[in-house]
Structure 1
Amino acid sequence: MAKFLIAMVVGTALALVAGVFWRRWRKAQLGAKRQLAMLDLRDQLAQMSPQFLKAAAATGKPRGLAWKTVDLHEDTAFATERVSGELYAMIDATVSFTAIEGGGMEEVEAVSNLRSATAVFVHRNGRWDTDGRVVFNLDPSETVAHYEESLEPVSIGS
């Protein structure tokens, strides 16, 4: 009976130690994947602008305006979503619109003004993607700070 108890204690201890090492290894793996994704983003910026423009235009927002151009810049802030752990990139952008005929905005002079915004991208299934979400009048760092309840800032190298 004593040998059985010793075997149980040793087995439990080994399982706990293995669990600790596995969690550390998994955390390191996820961190490495996250770092690679953040570095990969810079190489993909040129291809991401048309992708974002198409997705943003499909949202139908803002009402009465058609998306004309989106220029993505290098200023980027990264964050992870606190619940899902997904990696987000907030990218500085300059957006321009044109008025849609009959949309009620044709007479508004400010329609043609360039707008400062943050384009939102998410890293899923090994690639960067977007649903066209945009945050106007906040730069990428301000956007992460604004959504601090659901986003946790991440920096390259951390």
Structure 2
Amino acid sequence: MGSLGWWFTGGVAVLVLLALVARWLWHLGRVVHVERCRELFRLQHERFEEQLVKAASVSGLPRGLRWVRCDITGDAVLVRDTATGGIVALVPVLVQFEPLEDGEMAEVPAARDPRPATAVFSFHQGNWHTAGRVVFNHTPEQTVAAFAELQRLPEHV
């Protein structure tokens, strides 16, 4: 192999090494981002209960019921939405409703019973947001299983 061959082999080796380092740094950045998302949710979860009730109340669903309160009952499960690439928190909640006066549900005793659900929060632009989306009668794990576009993120890396 002539001196040109050694230069070529050395150049290829350097490029491969740079690609491996870049991939490792990219992966490390994603891990740090996920941990930051997780910590921000832990620090602010009380505020999110109120945000969820406000956002969900606007939807008018379920019909004939008014959102009274929402209590977070466990830890968030972080997933990646493969459709958007964003991070989503699936949070177990207990939702309390009150029937609207003269509404369809006013005479239904079960309308006031707390209902278990999974609240959906998305992380973008450095903050957690909710559109009031709630998946009733599902735990976060069941929600991940029901929606193929959601991929669970590792708990601790």
TM-score range, shorter chain: 0.7 to 0.9
Instruction: Work out whether 1:42 is the aligned partner of 2:42.
Output: yes
**8 A contact 1:99–1:106 mirrored in 2:** yes
**8 A contact 1:79–1:151 mirrored in 2:** yes
| Residue segments in structure 1 that go unaligned for 5+ positions in a row | none
| Counterpart-to-counterpart distance in 2, 1:126 and 1:139 | 26
**8 A contact 1:42–1:74 mirrored in 2:** no
3-state DSSP of counterpart to 2:61 = coil
Letter in 2 for 1:151: L
Partner residue in 2 for 1:150: 149
TM-score by length of 2: 0.86
CA displacement 1:82-118 (0-9 Å, x = unmatched): 2332111111111011122343221222111110111
| Counterpart-to-counterpart distance in 2, 1:7 and 1:52 | 61
CA displacement 1:104-154 (0-9 Å, x = unmatched): 22122211111011111111111111111101111122211222x101111
TM-score by length of 1: 0.85
| Counterpart-to-counterpart distance in 1, 2:59 and 2:23 | 40
Count of aligned pairs between the two proteins: 156
Letter in 2 for 1:132: G
Sequence identity, in percent?
A: 30
| Residue segments in structure 2 that go unaligned for 5+ positions in a row | none
**8 A contact 1:75–1:140 mirrored in 2:** no
CA displacement 1:43-89 (0-9 Å, x = unmatched): 11111110111111111111111111111123322211123321111
